[in-house]
Amino acid sequence: MRILITGHTGFKGAWMSTLLARRGHQVSGIALDPLEGSLFEKAGVSALVENDVRLDIRDADALQRAVVEIGPDLVIHMAAQPLVRQSYLQPRETFETNVMGTLNVLEAISATPQVKGSVIVTTDKVYRNVGRAEGYREDDALGGDDPYSSSKAMADILTHSWRTSFPSSPVTTARAGNVIGGGDVSKDRLLVDLIKGFSTGEPVAIRYPDAVRPWQHVLDCIAGYLSLAAAMLEGRAEGNWNFGPDPESFQTVREIADASATRWGRGASWIDDGAGEHLHEAHLLTLDSSRAGSELAWHNHIGFPSSLDWTVDWYQAVADGEDPVQVTNRQIDAFVEIASESSWMRTF
């Protein structure tokens, strides 16, 4: 199958590109240059993709030419400005990328008749956060206080409008968040900051130690996207879908930091910086993924605390000198074996 991934140089994109290429698919990608030291570089993803196209999705004409030329069967749109704190510093870029960039992707999909299905990835932060403990469901109100969250909510509404206005366009929306796994190098992400500090022996300052997040391994999240894509290609999925971790994965930042330090060992530590002045971030955020479970037969295979173990193990193995390509492939192979009975694997 010919599969196009926008944002393939990013953290999730690199894992997905590697997984799908190892499964025998023709994978192409459209994205900006990868971050220095990224998984894309360390795992040699550029050697796995058929077309490695570098362009800004805000360039509508260039994007459409590239998509039409590639002619994919499936599009998975993950290109975005993905950071909450960065969105405060660059709100215009965030809105232009996440909203108008998504519109450009939708237009390119509609202009490419080979496309049989597409998954537009947004985030768990699209929901109007009222601080409730039970998970948000797909039909709950959307919102977003910070520029990142609101821009992704706008992209979600845009996608709904597109598939309603142009019903022949094969478009669905996937919502997930707080994904962890080896090889992430993005700024202001908890595990990235923890591992960086643990590696240098410096205590890591934590902004909101009592904030609760649904922690999910990147491979479980990707399996959700692929479950939706497989069902869509079979003509039995439409609309919006949540792919969050199980309830036991809803852990405070404090608990994650403690468990990570214990797993890493070697004197790893962190300090509470909650009294400092910080930009607003949601304190509590959870998803209800029961629809994906009942209609797509999707569930998390790694779960918690194994997802944290796999993440720390990846970084520690690489820090100890193992080849990142081998470490990444080993974890993908282990995941494929665990998920061997999943329905999405009949397609992918």
Q: What is the CA radius of gyration of the chain?
A: 19
Place of tokens 């990235």: 192
Compute the mean pLDDT over every residue in the chain, rounded to the nearest whole number.
93
Confidence of residue 238 (pLDDT cuts 50, 70, 90): very high
pLDDT of residue 277: 59
Rounded to an integer, what distance in angstroms lies between the CA atom of residue 336 and that of residue 117?
A: 23
The torsion of the CA quartet 213, 45, 32, 149, rounded to 10 degrees, works out to -10
On the question of pLDDT at 282 being above 60, the answer is no
- Banded pLDDT at 124 (limits 50, 70, 90): very high
Taking CA atoms, 81 is separated from 42, 89, 116, 123, 150, in Å, by 22, 12, 26, 12, 12
Residue 285 has pLDDT above 80, yes or no: no
Q: What's the CATH code of the domain at 261?
A: 3.40.50.720
Q: Is the pLDDT of residue 278 over 60?
A: no
For the chain, the domain total comes to 1
**In sequence order, which residues have a C-beta less than 8 Å from that of residue 277 and are 6 or more positions away?**
none
Task: Name the residue range of residue 178's domain.
Answer: 2-346
Check whether the bond before 305 is cis (ω within 30° of 0): yes
Task: Show the tokens assigned to 192.
Answer: 């990235």
120-131: average pLDDT: 92
Q: What's the rounded mean pLDDT across residues 295-320? A: 95
Assign 280 a pLDDT band (cuts: 50, 70, 90): low
Average pLDDT over residues 172-184: 94
Across the chain, which distance is largest between two alpha carbons, in Å? 57
